[in-house]
Structure 1
Amino acid sequence: MDKSVVDNDELLQSALQGLGLPQKRLDSKWFYDHRGSELFEEITQLPEYYPTRTETAILREHVGALAKYVPQDGALFELGSGASVKTRILLDDFDHIAAYLPSDISAEFLGGVARDLVRDYPDLDVVPVVADFMGAMALPAQYADMPKAVFFPGSTIGNLEAEGAVELLSRVRMMPGVRAFILGADLVKDTGELIAAYDDAQGVTAAFNLNVLRRLNAECGADFDLTAFAHEARWNQAHSRIEMHLVSRLEQTVVMGGEAIRFAAGESIHTENSHKYTQDRLAAMAARGGWRLVEFITDRQARFSVSVLIPV
C-alpha cells in the first residue's frame, strides 16, 4: 500500500490524538472492523472466556421474566449487536414484539447478520442501524417513537469509564419510547480467572488486540510492525478493571499521518478497559443515569449479571 494514502481520516485523527498522550491510548471502538468483529465472535467461543456462555445461560433460564419488560407490539433495540447470537434467545421467546433493531459500528458485518435474521424471523421487522452507541443513535422514523426496550449484553458497558457509562445511560434514558434497559454486566471475581479470559492460550484475544494496528496500517498508511508488539492483559485493582495493552518489544519509531511516533522498549498502548461490577455499584451508576435497578439476575456462582433498569 502507498503509505501516504489515508482511507479513514476519523480513525487517523483519533489515533494520533491518543498516541500523543503520555500513556498512549487507542479507542476500543476501532477494534470492530469486519475482521475485528469476526475475531471477537471467536473469542466468545473460547473456553477461558466465561462471560458469553454464562450470560447465555442466564438469558435462557430467565427469558420469560425478561419478556414482561419489552412492550407489546414494541421494538427491541440492541446496542453493539455484533452477531446477535444471544439476542436470538430473546427473539425466539418474544412473540409479542413487532421489530428488532440491531445496531453496530461495522456496516458490512451488520448487514450480513441482518440478512440472516430476516430469513430466520420472517414475521419480525429486522431493521439494522449503523451507529456508534457512544454518539448519536438516530432510529428510522417509523420506529423512533415506538415503545421499546434497549438490550445491551456482553458487559460492553464495562469498556467505558464511569462518566462515559453514565453518559450512555443518560442518553438512552432520553430516547423516545424507552420503557426498560436490559443490561449485561460482568462481576468482580478471582483475578486469575479474569486475566485468563482476556489472554487465552490460543492467542485469539492477542490477534484481536493487534488487529487495531493492522487497521492503522491498512486505513491510515501507518507502518506498524505487528511482530514488534505483544498483547498483555492486566488487572487494575484500584479501578476494578481488566486493561488490555499492546507492549512495544523494543525501542522503535512508527510513522503515521506524516508524524513519527516513538516507543520505548516496554512502553504500551492502552487499548481497552473492561470494568467489573458489584450490584451496589451497578445500582448507583444506573441511578446517576436516570434509571432504577429492578432486576439483578446472576448465575449460581455470581460470575455475571443481567439487570433490568426502568426509567425514573
Structure 2
Amino acid sequence: MIGKVYVGVDVSKAKLDVCVEGGRAFVIENAPKKIVASLRRLLKEHAAAGLHVCYESTGVYGDALRDACWACGVAVSVLNAKQVRDWAKGSGQMAKTDKIDARVVCGFARAVGAPPCEAPAEWRTLVRGLLKLREAFVQQRVLVLGHLEQTAEARFRKRLESEAARLDKQVGKLEAEMVAAVRSDADASQVMARMTSVKGIGALTACSVIALVPEIGTLGRKRAAALAGLAPYADDSGTHSGERHIRAGRADLRRALYMPAVCAIRHNLILKAFYKGLRKRGKHAKVALTAVMRRLIILLDRIAGKPGFVPCAS
C-alpha cells in the first residue's frame, strides 16, 4: 500500500460504518467520544502512513466525525454522494448497504482522490451558523405573513403582526452579528468593503459569499460559475444540439445571489444593459437573470482575489 491509508465512512444518524483500506470494517456509535477513541486507535495502528477519512455529505450527521478528525489532526474529506454512487455503478457495484457504501467511499477516495477539508476560522463558522438561523427565521416570517394575509379578525391579526415584527427584529439582529463577525477579520473585512462597492451587492450578500465560499478569490471564471451551479452545460451528440442547462453547485450560494441579481438589473447600469441585451436576443427572463448571477459570482471572485482590482463605476 502506497502513502496514506484511506478510511471510508458511511454516516447515519445513530452509527458510522467504517471501512479501513485493506479490508478491515467495523461499526461505531455516531458520538464524539466514540469517534475520537476509534480515531486514536487507528492512528496508532497506521502511525507510519497516516490516515485520511472520507465520507459522503449527509447534512449535520457528519459534523461530529469531521470535528473529531480536525481535533485529532486527521485529514478529512466530504465527498459528493452522487459522484461516489456513479463511480460505484461504473465499477459494477450495484448492491447498496451501509457496509458496502463505506467500502465504496474508501475505493472512490483512492481511485479518484479527495482533497482534504481545512478547519474554518471561528468567525466563518459563526457566520455560517447565523446564516442558517436567519434562513429559519425568514421562513417563519413568510408563513406568518401568509396567515396574516388570509386573516380578517382584528384580534388574530394583532397577534400575527406582533409575531412578524418580532421575527423582523430577530433577523435584523442576526444580520448585524454576521457583519460584525466578518469585520472581526481584517482580510475578510477588506474583501467585504470592496464587494459592497458593486451596485446590487449589500453587506448581507458579501457576508454570505465570503462565509459560504472559502475559495473565493482563487477560482477563476469557469470554476466560480460551476461552484455556484450557474455554469451552462452542453448536451450535444452527433447532429443533436440540446439546450444548455445549469446543474449541481451550491444551492445556498445561488440563493444568496438571486436577489442581488434582481437588484442589479434595475440599478447597476452595466448589468442592466447586459440583461436587456440578452432579452432582446430572445433569452427567457430566468435565463437572462441566471446569466447575471453568473456574472456577479465571477466579478466577486475577481474582487476577492485581486485587491487592486476596481470594478467599473455603475
- TM-score, with normalisation over the residues of structure 1? 0.24
Does 1 or 2 have the higher relative contact order (CA < 8 Å, sep 6+)? 1
Structure with the greater alpha carbon radius of gyration: 2
- TM-score, with normalisation over the residues of structure 2? 0.23
**Which structure is higher in strand share?**
1
